[in-house]
Structure 1
Amino acid sequence: MKTIKRSIAFVLAMILTLAMSVTVFAEGEGAKNTFTIKVNEAKAGHTYEAYQILKGDLSKSQTTLSNVDWGTGIQKDKQTDLEPNKDAKAYAEKLSGMQSNSSDLKAEAQKIASALSATVAGSVSVTQDNAEAEITGLEPGYYLIKDKDGSLTGDEAYTEYILNIVADTTITPKTDVPSVEKKVKDTNDTTGDTTEWQDSADYDIGDDVPFQLTATLPANVESYKSYYLKFDDTLSQGLDFKEKTVTVKLGDKDVKEFFKINYDAASKKLTFTCDNILKEGFEAKNGEKIVVEYKATLNEHAVIGSEGNPNKVKLEFSNNPNKGGEGDKGETPEDTVIVFTYKVVINKVDEKNEALDGAEFTLYKKIKDKNGNLEDKEIKAVISGDKNDIFTFSGLDDGDYVLKETKTPDGYNTANDIKFTIKADHSIESDAPELNSLSGDKVTGNIILTPNKTEGSLSTPVQNLKGSVLPSTGGAGRVAIYVIGAILVLGGGIVLVTKKRVR
């Protein structure tokens, strides 16, 4: 998170109407001399400062401020910027006539901020969220409360308050920032089932992967005059953005026309930028959601295995309502989703489990079409090994597969078709999604699929057995002929002997 070193968020509120009374109080008459501001729901990292705008004498009933004069928090040469005649009482009456949280009062707060001196009447630094924080020792008068310059981190927004201090008071800082999340849907091609939006998915290389970016606007976005918002999205090298698939909506309203879309294919940087989501026609409201959806194609550069293909998004946003939303900007933390893909490795071996050359394989994936019928999608193999005996099918997701031997080594029997299922478990809801497990279940065939989650691989040997051996020339076949001939000769001899005896 980068440190925001920009202007302040200002706070000013009017409660009492200044009277023309000349009532004063003396010490010992029961009136307090100093007061305390308690900061409710204080946020860690904030330093709240109080600047005295006007001062005066507070009545014992704490209802009247008299003898009003300029406070230590206003530069003397800036008093005329607030009140042309430098009349502190007249300026107090002007402030008293403004309604709390009105646009007039907010505009006046900005004028006061530009007239502040370097004198801080009191401050408190907060190190823990919701801790009790107090600004003490404040004299009666009107105060502007602001965040100290440079005290905020990148994902914070400046506070917006209006307050007059004439007694012990509790304030609740009105500050809020947007949030963003990125999601992906997962589809099983074999079953045709698609999940809801989640934090990880697996796909085949060549598939179009659907992504969703959701920005939830702050609860005080309407306090800004304009509000800048940019989705800063980073794809992995294994994904190619498809611009024609983009939709941008505010609820049911199509607001794509208000966003400038920019994509750098080299860096894989994708941005959706709107200079002012409050402009006419867009008119975003407090707490609403802006949803961007698009698709990206998983390409041949996709990382296979548990490292996966991470994709991140963050928001850049206006964070100072007191400046109208212009200039100062904050940045949310990144949100990450991951797309996984796997591979199947076939090792061709003979009856001795030694590498065997001369085979060819084709892998088919079972895919359900629009009519609910299963069709075969052919997947090409990359062949390697000393004897061209290793067949690698890369870029696969979960589903049912059939491996066919389409060419058999000479003298060997063709292997039966092998059917198996790839199964994977990965994080559905997680700030750091990961591949939990990878397995392959045999349906038919003589295989054992060994998983390697890190490499994203399922490996198995496929064995070919030799065919029946035919007799060679001059071998057993000729011996059999000789034996038959000998039997015939002997048989003929017996017949001749028999005939002679009969004579």
Structure 2
Amino acid sequence: MMKKVIKKLLAALLAVAMLCAMAVPAFADDNTYTITINNPVGTYKAYQIFSGDLEGKILSNIVWGTGVTEAGKTDLGSAKDRAATLTNDASAKVFAKEVSKYLGEASGSYADGKISGLAAGYYLIKNDTVGDNETYTSFILAVVKDVTVEPKGDKPALEKKVKDANDTDGTTTNWQDSADHDIGDDVPFKLTAKIASNFDDYTTYKFVFHDEQSAGLTFKPGTVKVTVAGNELKASDYTVVTDPDDGCTFHVVINDLKKISDAAANAEVAVEYKSTLNEHAVIGSAGNPNEAYLGYSNNPHNSNDTTTTPKDKVTVFTFKVVANKINGDNDKALKGAAFALYKKGQDSTWKLVGLNNATEADGKYTIVDPDQTKFDWVGLDDGEYKIEEIITPAGFNSIAPQTFKVTATHDETSADPKLTALSGNMTSGEITFTAKESDGSLTTDIVNNVGATLPSTGGIGTTIFYVVGGGLMVAAAVLLITKKRMENK
């Protein structure tokens, strides 16, 4: 009896096993596939453009997929004929732009760079969202197995640069990340960006240069020059906005680069302009920063979508010379002086930087504050300088002109430029400087010594003459008396 029960049980288990084995091919016919996206940007959706019968790895009997709307199926015509036109990347891009107008329901599900649960077919893969400073990408892909792809989206990057100049030797640097200038100088700046490599995918393409200047820089709108691929644009090709509502100092707007004949993939777009370093400039290591970023079109399928690049910064530095007037007899502060500071030009002539504590009229100087003992000249850069004492305290000797050279170094290739060294070295004279990078100062003591004392009436000098003179008179009298006595004998 027990043997019969065991035989029936084994027979039942065998039947279940055979049923399961027969079910395997049925599940295999319902395979789905996964697209893995390397280095994903934002999130993605997959739209089935074409469907059909999968035999091996070949899709035949092609029809429109579930990702195309009914209107699209009508307007786009035969699915089989349109699929036959996809012979290379260029034709696929053209078709992708066209079919994007008729997208319906997305297929599969996206998570962590993978779109899973996709039936066999041709799919348009496109960004659903992107992060900050990123661009939308899309591509058509045949899915007849699990596949891995690398998005080929491109985005511009912006560089901001500044030039440095030395007024004494006439040298000018290349474009770099820092400079030092005198207050009053017109400082040259340049913004540069490259058009994205997928420029041809766009119907319209917008560039907006945003520039944020510190209080120490005054923008000069009339100096703006814009070039594309090295060729200067007409003023009507762009707009300079001097009162934007986003906190920037100004914008340079090119509404549609597709209308500029020289615009092309990877072409360089540059904006050059000047700003004056003004009286509000920060002296020393904090410097006067100037930041910029680019706004640009980032979605080939929607001309209204834009994003921005990260900001890029340059910094302009400026310095000061401080002179303390000192009494050479007691090392105390000395009143009653005035000075003039000159800077040597590249033609070797000395140009007046400024008077300190004096006014001038008809070649004559008048002191402003007879009690002033400290003198400073603010807003200087590198170069050769000369200090002359134009009014000397009464009773003191004037100093000879003092010439010296200001030298500064700062980061020329840095995302956040810093002042690294500052010095003042004498070329003729006796003064020495103490440098302090934090406040950009070169400080020195200028010493006056008391003048030589001349003899005065009633003084010891006159007394000597009196004594000597009186002595000579007595000697003469003695000689005269002696002579007469000898004659009488």
Q: TM-score range by the shorter chain?
A: 0.7 to 0.9
Q: CA RMSD in A?
A: 2.7
CA 1:481–1:56: 2 relative to 1, 3 Å: same
How many residue pairs get aligned? The number is: 449
1:153 is paired with a residue whose SS is coil
CA 1:94–1:249 in 2, change beyond 3 Å: closer, same or farther?
same
Letter in 1 for 2:112: S
Partner of 1:379: 353
Once the two structures are TM-superposed, the CA of residue 478 in structure 1 deviates from its matched residue by: 3.0
Cα pair distance change 1:289/1:59, threshold 3 Å: same
Question: TM-score by structure 1 length?
Answer: 0.83
Task: Give the 3 Å change call, closer, same or farther, for CA 268–204 of structure 1 in structure 2.
Answer: farther
Q: Look up the SS of the partner of 2:349 in the other structure.
A: strand
Matches within 5 A, 1:39-438: 39-40=37-38, 42-43=39-40, 45-60=41-56, 62-66=57-61, 70-71=65-66, 73=67, 79-84=69-74, 90-100=78-88, 101-102=90-91, 104-113=94-103, 115=104, 117=105, 120-126=107-113, 134-149=114-129, 152-257=130-235, 258-264=237-243, 269-279=249-259, 281-323=260-302, 326-351=303-328, 352-368=330-346, 373-383=347-357, 387-438=371-422
Residue identity in the other structure for 1:37: I
1:98 is displaced (CA, Å) by 4.2
The one-letter code sitting in structure 2 at the alignment partner of 1:350 is N
Aligned pair partner of 1:33 in 27, 31, 34: 31
DSSP 3-state at the match of 1:315: strand
Counterparts of 2:407 and 2:452, CA distance in 1: 38
SS of equivalent residue, structure 2 residue 99: helix
After superposition, the Cα gap between the structure-2 partners of 1:124 and 1:65, relative to the gap in structure 1 and judged at 3 Å, is farther
Output one character per residue of 1:277-301: Cα deviation in whole Å (capped at 9) or x when no partner. 011x435111110111112222222
State the TM-score, normalized to the length of structure 2: 0.85
* Closer, same or farther: CA 186–69 of 1 in aligned 2, 3 Å: closer
> Aligned with 2:25: secondary structure?
coil
Alpha-carbon shift at residue 479 of structure 1 (Å)? 1.4
Q: 1:472 to 1:395 in 2, by over 3 A?
A: same
Going from structure 1 to structure 2, the CA distance change for 1:30 and 1:427 (only over 3 Å counts) comes to same
Query: 1:86, CA displacement in angstroms?
Result: 12
State the Cα deviation string for residues 373-421 of structure 1 (Å, max 9, x = none).
2111101145499921111111111001111111111110010111100
For structure 2, list consecutive stretches of 5 or more residues without a partner in the other structure: 1-23, 358-367
1:220 positional shift? 0.7
- Distance 1:112-1:124 versus aligned 2 partners, 3 A rule: farther
C-alpha separation between the residues in 2 aligned to 1:354 and 1:224? 74
Q: Give the drift of 1:139.
A: 2.1
Residues 48 and 125, structure 1, Cα contact 8 Å, conserved in 2? no
Structure 1 pair 158–447 and aligned structure 2 pair: CA distance change class (3 A):
same
Larger radius of gyration: 2
Pair 1:466-2:446 in alignment? no
Q: Bigger relative contact order, structure 1 or 2, given CA contacts below 8 A and separation 6+? A: 1
Q: Is the 8 A contact 2:295 2:309 kept in 1?
A: yes
